[in-house]
Chain A
Amino acid sequence: MIQFITHLTGKCRPYFNIKQGFISLSFLVFFFCQQSLQAGRNNGPYMFQTDITVSGKVTDVNGNPLSGASVQLKGSNTGTSTNSSGDYTITVPTNGVLLFSYVGLGNLEVPVSGKTTISITLSGNVKTGEEVIVVGYGTSRKRDLTGSSSSVKGAEIANLPALSATQAIQGRAAGVQIINSGAPGSAPNVRIRGTGSILGGADPLYVVDGIITQDIRNINIADILSVDVLKDASSTAIYGARAANGVILITTKAGNRSKFTINYNAFAGVRMLTHLVDMAGPNLYAVYSNDAANAPAILESDITGSTDWYKEITRPAIFQNHNLSLSGGKKKYRFYISGGYLNENGILLDNNYQRITARINHDYAVTSKFKIGNNLAFSHYKSENKPFSLFSSAYNAAPIFNAVNPDGSYGNTTKSNVGNPYATLKTTNNRSYGNRATGSLWGEYQIIKGLSFRSSFGIDAEQNNGWNYTPVYQTFLPDGTTAAQKNEKADLSFSKDSIYQWTWDNFITYDRKFGTDHSLKLTAGHTAERRNGWSSRANINDGTIPNNESAWKLNFKDTAGGQQNFRDPIGDYFRRESWFIRANYIFQEKFLVNATFRRDGSSNFAPSNKWGNFPAVGVGWIISKEKFMADQKTFDYLKLRASYGLSGNDVVPANQFALNPSEHFYAYFGTNRYDGATVTSLKDPKLKWETVKEFDLGIEFTALNNKLTGEIDYYHKDVTDALYRIELPSIGFGADFITNAAEILNQGVELSLGWANRINTNARYSIKGNVTFNKNDVKNVGIGQALISGDLGNGSSSTRTTVGHEIGSFYVYKTDGIFQTDADVAAYPHLTGALPGDFKILDMNADGVIDEKDKYFAGSYQPKVYYGLNTTFNWRQWDFALDIFGNAGNKVYNAKKGLRFGGNYNIEYDVAIRRWTPGSGINNYPRAYNGTATVSDYFVESGSYVRINNISAGYTFKIKNTNSPLRSLRVYASAQNPFMFTNYTGFTPELPGSPLASGIELNAYPISASYMLGVNVQF
C-alpha cells in the first residue's frame, strides 16, 4: 500500500506546474460551486429528501401472494424482492416512486408519497423500459437509451457453478459469445459481436462498480447485482479507450436500508468427464506402429502392461461453494458484507483451485448533500496446477506399459518417446497463489439540484506467486533400467508478480427537466489510470533442493551460484488519461438524442499518436408514444433507435513503438559470462489507436400485453487500423512487428425474444431466447501478406488470415480419397514421398504439382450463428430451469490427431481399425504413418454444437411461522452441461484461443458435466 501511494505521489511536483486541461476542469468545478452558492442564497437551503421504510404485500388478481416479485426504487439500483408470503420491506425517499414487477404480470409504478405501507396487486397492466441499465459513469432507464445493451440479473446466475460472471452468462445475452475452457481457474474468451481485434485484446473491457479492470475472476458471482453488456458505439464510446470490443459492466450488491438480512447460499457437486476419445489398446497400437514403421518396431515382448492413460490421470472432481452475506442499513447508510469460499477439483488428478472472497460495500450520507462510500473486495486464490498438456500426452502415450509398476516405481518404455504421463503428473509440483484487493472509494456531492460531482478513486492491487518444483525422480523400463524420462537434479523456480493499478474518475452529472417537453442529462469528466508492476523470478537448479516446501527460501544456496534471479517489469504497464462528455436529450418522452465524446491518451503509443478522439451519436424514437399508435393493441412499447460512433483499442504491450534492445543473449569469453544486448526486432514508431467504426440499428418492443418482449439489432462494426503483428521475411531484423494495418468487419443481426405468462394461479413460465448471426470478414491485412498462425505442435501452421476470409481461417489441402496403388500415385500429382494409403490431394490450380498454392480456405472457428435459450417454469413451490447454448457454422481443427510425428504415439481406436491397408478396400482413414501429418481438411471438422448448459429444479419451503427468523429456504438440484450434441470427434468443440488461432484442439481440457445440490437460505 505504501508503495502504491508512492506510485501515485512519488513524482508530483507542486500543483502550479499543470496542464491546461486540468485548469479548465477545475474552473468548471469552481464555476458550479459558485452557482451552487448563488442557488443557496437565492432559494434558501435545499432540503435533501428524507428516507422512509415502506412495507407491504404483492399479490396477483386472485389474491395469491407473489413471491420473488421485484420491488425497485424507480431510476435507481435500490431494490428488493418479495419473500414467499409476498411481503417486502424497502427504504426509499419519501418522494420516490416504487416500481413493482413480476414475470408475466408486468409492472406497476406507485409513488411513495410518504406512505409506509404499500400493498399492490399486479394484474398485467404495465409500463416497460423502466429497467435500469448501468451505462458507465451513471445509470439510465432502458427506454432512454439510444444504444444497444443486454442485461443479466445477478439472480439468474447466482446458483451456477462458475468462477466468473462471464462464464455464467453464456447463452444469456444476444451478441455475446462466451468460449469456456473446462479448466479450473481459467478465464473464458469473450467476444462481443464477433472477433474484431487480432492481437490479444479481443476481449471486452470490464468495469466493476465503475472501476476498469482486466480480469473479473476475483468477483464472486454471489455478490453480483447485475451484469450489463454495452455493445454499440453509442453505449461504449463513453469508455472510448479499449471499448472497441464492447464493455461488460458489473454492479455488486448494496444493502437494503430497511432490514437486516443474512443470506447463505451453498452448493456442492461432482464434475465428470462426458466425452472422451477411444484409444487403441496395446495390441492394436503395436500393429499400427509396426505398419507405420514398416518394420517390427513393437514386439510382443515390449508389451508389459495395458494402460488407459485417461483413467490414470483423471477422476470425478468434487467442488463446493459457500457464500454468506450480511446486508442492511438505516436511513443514512447501507452496507453489504460477504464472504465466499470456492473449492474446485479439476478433472485432472490433483488439480485443484480454491478461492476465498470477501467484500464490503458501504455508503453513507454525511450530510443531506454529501455521500461517501466504498466497494472493496479482497480475494485469495490457491491453485495446484497440473499441465493441461497431459491430456495430449495421455492421448499420445503408448498403452503398453504400467503407469506404476508392482514395486511402486513409474513405468516406461523405449518404444515411444511420450513417456509416462502419470509420472509427469505426480512429479509436477506447481502452485500458484495470490491475493487481490480491488475496489473504490468515492464521494458524491450535490452542488445544486440536478448537479452533482462525483470523485471515485479505484485501486486494483494484485500479487501472484507461484512455484514449480521438480523432484529427483526416475521412470523405469521393463528390464529395470532407468528411462530417459527422469529428473537427475531437483530444480525449483519461484515467481512473484506484483501489480498495482489505480483509476481516478472525476465527473459531474447534470440532470434537469425544462418544462414538460425537455429533459437533459449531462455527464462530463476526467479520468486517469496507471498500471505498473514487477515480476520477479528465481531459479535454483543445483540439485540440492529438498522436496520440502518449508525449506525453500529465496536466499537458498545463493552463494553457490546455483541461483538465478530476475526482476522484470510486467508487460502491460501503462498510463491513460481521458476527457469525456455525454449529453442525453429527450423531447416529449419520445425523441431521444445521445451524444458522446471522449478523448483518450495512452502511454502505449508513440508521442505523436498518443491521443485519440472517439465521438458517437445515437437517436431514438419511442413510436409507441405517438398518437397514431394509441389505438393499436399489439405493442405496449415500441422503440426505434440508431447509432454511429467510434471507439478505440490500445491493448498492445508497452513501448512497442520504441526500438529497444533485448537482453540476456549470453556468451562466454573465458570463464566470464557476458550479457549480450542488441536490437532484434522491428518497431513501428507511428503506432496508434485501433479504431472501431460501428453502426447500429435497433428495435425494442413489448407486445401482447407485455407478455412478449423483444429486441432486434443490426450492427456493422468495422475495425480499422487494427493492430497486429505483420510477419516479415527473416533477414536479421525480427520475424514480425506490431503495426496498425489490418481492417476487420463484423456485421450481423442480434435477436432476443422473451415470452412470459401464467398458466394459472399456481403455474407460470418464461422463455427467453437470443440468437446472433455474425459475419466476420477481413478487409485488409497491411501489405497483402496473409497472417500465418495456428501452430499445430508439429512445425506446421493451420490458419491464414487474409483479405476476403474470416479471421483465423483454416488454410489446408483438400483431400480427395486415398491412393490405392503405386499406379494411382504415379497417375496423380502428389507430394514428394506419397505412397499408396496416403491422401490424394486435389491439385486445385491444376498445374500438375501439389504445393502451397493448392491449399484452400476451409472455414474458421468464427461461428456464423450462436444462440441461447433460457426457460423457467414455476409451479407452486417448485421452480425449474433449462438453459441451452449452441453455435453453428464454424470449424475446428482436430490437431492432436495429426501430432503423431516422431516416436510411435498412440492412435485412436477408430483410426487404427478402419485405416487403409493394401487391398483391404477400407478407406476411412489413411495408412499407418509416422511422419508429420500434412495439413489437410481431413483434420477440419464441424465445430457446431448444441449443449444443455443447465437443468435445475428447486423447491422453496413455505415459512408458516411469521415470527421465525428464517425468512426463506430453497433447495435445488442442477446439472451443468449434461448433454452435448455435436459431430465433432475430439474432446470438445469449445476451444478458447487467440484470434488468429482459435478452434485448434491440441491440449484441450475435455468437456465435463457437473451435478450438484444447493441451498439458498435467508434470515
Chain B
Amino acid sequence: MRFINKISICCFLLVLVLAIGCKKSFLTEEPRTVTINDLINNPTDGAQRLIAAVYSKLYDWNVHTFSWIGISSITSDDAEKGSYSGDTGTDKNKLDDWTFDPTSLSFDEVWRGNFEGIGRAAYALKFIPTINIPAQDKDRYIGEAKTLRAYFYWNLIRIFGGVPKIDHVLTSQQEIQEASVRASAATIYAFIEEDLNDAIAKLPPVLTTSERGRVSRGAAQALLAKVSLYQQKWARANGLADALIGSGQYSLMTDYALIWREVGEFSSESIWEVNAIGITPNKGVQQYSLVQGPNGPGGLGWGFNSPTQNLYDAYEPGDKRRDATIMKRGQTLWDGFVVNPGSPNPYSNYKSYISKTQETFNGDDEQTNKNYRIFRYGEVLLIKAEAANELGDTTAAKLALNQLRVRAGLLPVNAISQANMRNIIYKERRVEMAMEHDRMFDLQRTGRAAAVLQALGKPYVSPKHNLFPIPQAQRDLSGNRLEQNPGYF
C-alpha cells in the first residue's frame, strides 16, 4: 500500500514539473502592441497609418505652438512676448529681447519637433513602397511624405541654416551619431527641392472633401515657390506661382477676416491647412489658440505673442486687414465676446481666436477646431509679385499685388521703379501675412532684420543673428559634432 502511495506521489510530482514545460517557448512574449509587420502586411490601412503619423506632427506643440510662435513671431517687430511682465514663457522674454542663447529651450523644442516629423516621413517612405496597395495610392503617399519632410526641413533651415540630412531610416546608435553632423544649407535646399519636385509629380491637383488636411500638388508647389524666394530663384518662384494662379483652383476670399474663421476653412483661398477638429474625439493644433488668447480676466488664454503698436501702425488708413488681424482689449469680437478691458496686453492675435459660442467647440481649450493655415492663395500672389518684380516685370507684380490691396479696401499701387516696387511688396507682405509666422524669417531673408530691429532698440547683431543658435542640448548629445552657428557659444 505504502509502495503504491509512493509511486502515485512520485508520478504526481513528475506531472507537476512537466506541466510548466508544456509550452515550447515559454520565455517568448508576444508583443502586445502593433508590429511593423502588422502595418506592412495590412493593405487596408497600413499605409494610411504610417502617413497619418507624419501628418500628426503638424498638430504637435513642438512643431507649431509655443516655441515656434516664439521664434517665428515674438522675435519680430510684429509681436512682443505678451502676457504679464513677469511671465517669461520659459524663454520668450529672451526671444523678444534678443538675449537668448543656445540653451534657450525653444530652439531645442522646434529642433526635436521638426526632426521627429522627418523621422516619421523616413519610416513612411521606407515601408509604404513595400505595402501591397495600388501604385497610384503608393505614389500619392510618397508624394505626401516628401512634401511633409520638405516642410519640416524648410522650418529647420530657416531657423538654423544647414542641419543634418536624414534621407533614410536610422536604426542604431552609431548611425545616429554618425548622421549628427550639419549638412550645408545648399545641400538641404537641394534635398527640399528634390522632395518637392517628386511630390509635385505624384500628388493629385484636387482634394475631395474627405481628403481635407492632406497635401495636394498645390501645397507642394506653393512650398517650392516660397523656398525659391529664399534662394532668390526668381524664375522658378514666378513659374510655380503662375502654375498655381493658372490652375484656376484658387481665388481670394472676399472678406479677409473670414479666412481664419471656421467658415473660412478649406475655402477657395486655402492651399494647405492643418485640419483641426473640435468635436470629440477632438484633435487640435496643441494649445495654439490658448497660448495666444488674451490673458487676464475672462481667461481666454496665456496672452503670448501680442501684436505690437508698430504693427498696428503699419497698416494704411482704411486697411481692413488691421482689425481682422489685431484684437484690442475691451473690444467686442465678431461673435459678441468681449475681451476684458483689464487684459495686460493692449493687442492680441485675432487670427488665432476661436469662438467658443459660434464655432465648433467641445470645451477643450487645448485642442480646438482652429486650423493652422500653412499656405493660402494670398501668399501665392505675394510670391508672384515679388518674383515678377525681381525678374523686371513690375506690371505683373502690380497686378498680383493690387488684388490683395483691393480686397483690403485700399487703392491699387502705381509704383514705377523695381526698387520702389520691391519695398511696396515687402510692406504689403508684412500686413497681408501679419501674425502668420512669416515676418521674422522674411526680415532675415531680405537682409532687413538688423535695420528694422535695431531701430526698435533690439540688440540684433548681423550676421550672428541672421540664424538662430543650434540647441546646446543637441550639440552636447552629438559630442559637439553639430557645429554651432557663428557668433554663438
Contact = CB atoms under 8 A, between A and B. Distances in A.
A541 B364 contact: yes
A961 interface: no
Nearest to A905: B86
A406 interface: no
Interface in A538-596: 541-543, 561-562, 564, 568-569, 573-577
A679 B276 contact: no
A667 B99 contact: no
Contacts of B86: 289, 292-293, 297, 902-904, 930
A512 interface: no
Contacts of B236: none
Given A488-B363, A569-B32, A678-B123, A29 B14 contact: yes
Interface string B1-42: 011001101100111111111111011110111111011000
A682 B39 CA distance: 18
A541 B280 contact: yes
B89 to A, nearest CB: 7
Contacts of A931: 88, 93
A37 B93 contact: no
Contacts of A682: 170-173, 176
Given A29-B10, A577-B26, A610-B27, A679 B123 contact: yes
Contact of A575 (B29, B33, B54, B283): B29
B277 A668 contact: yes
Interface in B203-221: 208-214
Interface string B454-489: 000000000000000000111011110010000001
A739 interface: yes
Interface-centre pick from A37, A574, A654, A902 (highest chain B CB count, 10 A): A902
Contact of B20 (A11, A33, A528, A726): A528
A206 to B, nearest CB: 22
Given A603-B29, A671-B277, A732-B166, A666 B6 contact: no
Nearest to A739: B173
Given A414-B342, A668-B213, A670-B209, A729 B474 contact: yes
A674 B52 contact: yes
B56 A37 contact: no
Interface stretch (A128-136, A478-486, A712-720, A914-922): A478-486
A582 B180 CA distance: 50
A737 B297 contact: no
Interface in B256-275: 275
A827 interface: no
A14 interface: yes
A488 B50 CA distance: 36
A667 B298 contact: no
Given A13-B22, A481-B340, A732-B120, A676 B55 contact: yes
Contacts of A26: 14, 17-18
A947 B211 CA distance: 66
Contacts of A506: 13, 16-17
A370 B208 CA distance: 77
B210 A671 contact: yes
Interface string B38-64: 110000010011111111111100000
A307 to B, nearest CB: 20
B118 A902 contact: no
B87 A902 contact: yes
B29 A660 contact: no
A902 B89 contact: yes
A408 interface: no
A1019 interface: no
Interface residues of A, number: 121
B97 A833 contact: yes
Given A29-B10, A30-B10, A486-B299, A655 B29 contact: yes
B478 A675 contact: no
A903 B87 contact: yes
A676 B53 contact: yes
Interface stretch (B108-116, B407-415, B445-453): B108-116
Contacts of A833: 94, 97, 99
Interface in A776-815: 783-786, 788, 794-795
Contacts of A788: 473, 476
A928 to B, nearest CB: 10
Contacts of B474: 729-730
B17 A526 contact: yes
Interface stretch (A16-24, A91-99, A154-162): A16-24
A4 to B, nearest CB: 15
B227 interface: no
A475 to B, nearest CB: 10
A783 B101 CA distance: 27
Given A17-B24, A727-B477, A730-B112, A676 B54 contact: yes
B160 to A, nearest CB: 12
A666 B274 CA distance: 12
Contacts of A904: 84, 86-87
A602 B26 CA distance: 10
A295 B297 CA distance: 20
B363 A932 contact: no
Interface string B363-379: 11000000000000000
Contact of A479 (B14, B57, B297): B297
A667 B213 contact: yes
A483 B297 contact: yes
A652 to B, nearest CB: 12
Contacts of B477: 727-730, 785
B130 interface: no
A673 interface: yes
B6 A33 contact: yes
A795 B90 contact: yes
B3 A528 contact: no
Contact of B112 (A481, A577, A602, A735): A735
A204 to B, nearest CB: 24
A564 to B, nearest CB: 6
Contacts of A5: none
B15 A15 contact: yes
Contacts of B363: 488-489, 541-543
B290 to A, nearest CB: 10
A453 B90 CA distance: 65
B164 interface: yes
A795 B17 contact: no
Contact of A677 (B53, B295, B298): B53
Contact of A731 (B89, B91, B119): B119
Given A22-B21, A667-B213, A727-B477, A660 B176 contact: no
Contacts of B340: 481
B150 to A, nearest CB: 14
A961 B23 CA distance: 64
Given A577-B27, A603-B28, A669-B214, A901 B283 contact: no
Interface-centre pick from B2, B17, B24, B476 (highest chain A CB count, 10 A): B17
Interface in A7-51: 11-15, 17-19, 21-22, 25-26, 29-30, 33, 36-37, 40, 45
A536 to B, nearest CB: 13
B33 A660 contact: yes
Contacts of B479: 783-785
Interface-centre pick from B52, B91, B120 (highest chain A CB count, 10 A): B52
Interface in A273-298: 289, 292-295, 297
17 contacts: A17-B24, A25-B17, A33-B6, A293-B84, A414-B297, A479-B342, A528-B20, A562-B280, A577-B27, A607-B28, A661-B36, A677-B53, A678-B53, A682-B176, A794-B90, A903-B87, A932-B88
Interface of B: 2-3, 6-7, 9-10, 13-24, 26-29, 31-36, 38-39, 45, 48-59, 83-91, 93-94, 97, 99-101, 103, 105, 111-112, 115-120, 122-124, 164, 166, 169-173, 176-177, 179-180, 208-214, 275-277, 279-281, 283, 295-299, 340, 342, 344, 362-364, 472-474, 476-479, 482, 489
Q: 3 nearest interchain CB pairs?
A: A732-B119, A484-B299, A676-B53
